[in-house]
Each structure stands twice: as C-alpha cells, then as structure tokens.
Amino acid sequence: MNLVFLHTADWQLGKPFASVRDEPKRNRLQQERLHTLQAMAGHAREAGASFILIAGDLFDSSQATKSTVSAACAAIGSLGIPVLVIPGNHDHGGPGSIWDQEFFQREQQQLAPNLRVLLSPEPVILDGAILFPAPLLRRHDPGDPTAWIRLALDDPALPPDLPRIVLAHGTIQGFGSSQDDENGESNVVNWIDLSRLPAKIDYIALGDWHGTKQVGPNAWYSGTPEIDRFPKGEGNDPGNLLKVTVARGQAPRVEKIPSSRFLWKELACRFSDDASLDLFATRLDGMLGTRGDEHLLLLTLEGSLGIETAARLEQILESWDSRLLRLKLDHRVTIAPTDEEIRTLTQRAADPLIASVASQLVARIGGDDEDSSIARLALRELHAVLS
C-alpha cells in the first residue's frame, strides 16, 4: 500500500539575514519563511499527505525569540496533519536546547499539538511507516548520526510490511551546508555514510544541503523551501518541498513542489564602452521588471566607463539598491574619461589652474594602484563641480 508524505528541511526560522542592511527588508525575508510554512497546508492537502517530515533546522538557532517560537507553532498547528521534526545543527537537541525550554513546550502543547519533536535515536512506528530519526544532539557531531540504524533495522518486533524511512540531518561526500554557505567555508562534520545504510530502507529524508538534490537511489535532500542565498552552481535547486510516495520494498516516487516566493538572481556585466551602459540598464529591467521588491541580486560589474556615464551607472545602482530586497554588489568598474571629457577638463584657457590639476590627474589614472584609483575619483569630482 502506498504512503504519501511531504519532506522538507532547513526552515531556519528566525534567520537574521544580517547582510541585508535595511531592517524592513530583513523583516520581510524573515516573515516570508513563516508564510511559506503556512502555505504548506494547501500543498499537503493537494498531495494527500499523511504527515510532514522536517529533516532538521526548523529554527535558525536554539536562541530563537519567543515571537518566532509562537509564530512557528501557530503555523505548524494550522497544517492539520502530523508534523515530525528532528533537531539539526542550527537547533541541535543538546542541553539547553530550544526543545527543552519551558516556553517552547507550552506553545507546542497549546498551538501545535500535531508537532512531534524526535530527540531519541530509536524507531518510531507510525500508522503507515516506521521512522528512523537521527537527531543531532550537538551542533558538530564527529560521528555518523545514522550509525545506530544499521542494527535497529533487524529488530524482529518491527512490523515487516511498513516502509522504512530514515530522517537525518548532515552531510554526505560532496554535499552539505558547509559547502553551500555564502562565505564558502568548508568543515566536514555530521557526516552521514549512505553506503553503510542497508538497501532495505525505502526512503532517506535528508536536511542540511539547501538545494533539492537526489544523492542516492532512495536518498534526497529536500533543500530549503524558501530560498535564502544566492545560486551556487547549476546543481543547486532550492525553493522546493518534496512529495514522496513510498511502499515497502519499492523505489520511492519523488516530486518537487515549488514553494519559494523571493527570487535570488545573479548577473555579471563587463562594460566595453559607454554605449554598453544602456544595454546593461535594459537587461536589468528585463530581468527584474517592476517587482524588484521580490528579488535579491548578486551583481558583478567590470570594465571601464567615461566620467558622465559612470555617474549615470551610480544613479542606476542607487535606484536598484532601493527597489531590491538586497543588492550585493561586486563593483570593479574603473573611470576612463572620454577624449571629449579630457579636452573639457585640460583645455581651459580661462582656468589655467584647473587645467593644470586636471592634466596631472589624467597622467596618473592609467595604473591599477591606489594612487591611480584616487586620481580617477578626483577627476570625477572635478568634472562634477565644473559641469
């Protein structure tokens, strides 16, 4: 008999989004994660899901605010079906964890009686499946949190006809949150050795990697349902829930359900001449349209522009920085005055002192050192004063 459930992970509710400078924009990103959780009720009904599995990191930390805890419990309570969660590395289940706090337990009982937090590595028999949770009881576990499952699968007391589902949070070779953090740091902990999990397992629900990815015949990372960082290569596919259909001894059927609202995009542009700025502006408009407030953009700019055109670029960037939820800018465009701009600044018979200063600055702008950079900025400021 087939069983349908939803697999999700890495909500990280309460994530501060500290790289977003504007507080109202940070708040929008934080609130959308709750809205996506609330919208899951419709996905669950449409899928005919019996329950929802959260493979770790429901909260961004064990110090989530009381308002975040209450909002999370209220949203989970509205889902209408059982929700089972394990602690991940962000909200690990060790001493003093959020799961042990009296306030969380009270809110869970009152607002989310359908939420079950699995803190023990032991089989959980559900109506239609046997769950093997591998909770993280500390942030960094040097061992394999799923190691206990290899022996537990052979327990003769377990119903033989129910599908076996592993719920775990950690990294496998080549994947994990340590590889997709924005800062690029890598630190292998919480290692899950899929090769040592028996083939008799029907589905392995993983969390930690923020993109949706199949990593074995019956093993998937669901990824975060609301995108929270810029793209990391073609293999990264965040912003989904997984609808999973399992039956004992059969290959699982997995379907992606898009669930993210905000769009994290990237664009690179190299300016070869002043005319290329208009092409860049048109390209930005086509990519972002009038709904810039739903986009976050990683923008890399290179090349050179004349003084007036560089000033226009700064105006364009100022506007998009205001419209977008976030503009992460790698700005390497240099100022290269046009021949006309150089003549205007250096051939000023009525202002010989200005002409002399401009000539000296023009002579110093050709290099890549700090002195050349200062000269280009000074030339731009001089041009702005005289325009």
What secondary structure does DSSP assign to 28-69, as a single string? HHHHHHHHHHHHHHHHHHHHT-S-EEE-S-SBS-TT--HHHH
**pLDDT mean over 225-230:** 92
Cβ burial, residue 308 (10 Å; 0-12/13-18/19+): middle
The confidence score (pLDDT) of residue 279 equals: 95
Is the pLDDT confidence value at 51 over 80? Answer: yes
List of residues 6+ apart from 158 with CB closer than 8 A: 123, 125, 130
Sign of CA dihedral 314, 319, 321, 322: positive
Q: pLDDT tens digit string along 303-343?
A: 989 888 998 999 999 999 999 999 999 999 988 787 676 77
Task: Kindly report the number of other CB atoms within 10 A of residue 182's CB atom.
Answer: 12
Q: Grade residue 50 by pLDDT with cuts at 50, 70 and 90.
A: very high
DSSP 3-state of 360: helix
Which residue, 179, 181, 175, is CA-closest to 193?
Answer: 175
Averaged pLDDT score across all residues of the chain: 88
What confidence category does residue 382 fall into, taking pLDDT thresholds of 50, 70 and 90?
A: low
Give the CATH fold of the 3-258 domain: Purple Acid Phosphatase; chain A, domain 2 (3.60.21)
| CB 306, CB 335: distance < 8 Å | yes
Q: Which residues pair with 169 in a beta bridge?
A: 207
Share of the chain above pLDDT 70, in %: 89
Instruction: Give the pLDDT band (50/70/90) at residue 186.
Output: very low
Q: Return the pLDDT at 88.
A: 95
Q: How much is the pLDDT for 336?
A: 78
pLDDT above 50: residue 218: yes
pLDDT at 285 (0 to 100):
92
What does pTM read for this prediction? 0.85
Whether the per-residue pLDDT at 373 is higher than 90: the answer is: no
Q: CB–CB of 33/226 below 8 Å?
A: yes
Mean pLDDT for 229-242 is: 85
The mean-pLDDT minimum among 149-153, 277-281, 297-301 falls in 149-153
| Nearest one of 10, 9, 13 to 67, comparing CA atoms | 13
Q: Could you tell me if 82 and 114 are in contact, meaning their C-beta atoms sit under 8 angstroms apart?
A: yes
Delimit the domains of the chain by residue range: 3-258, 263-386
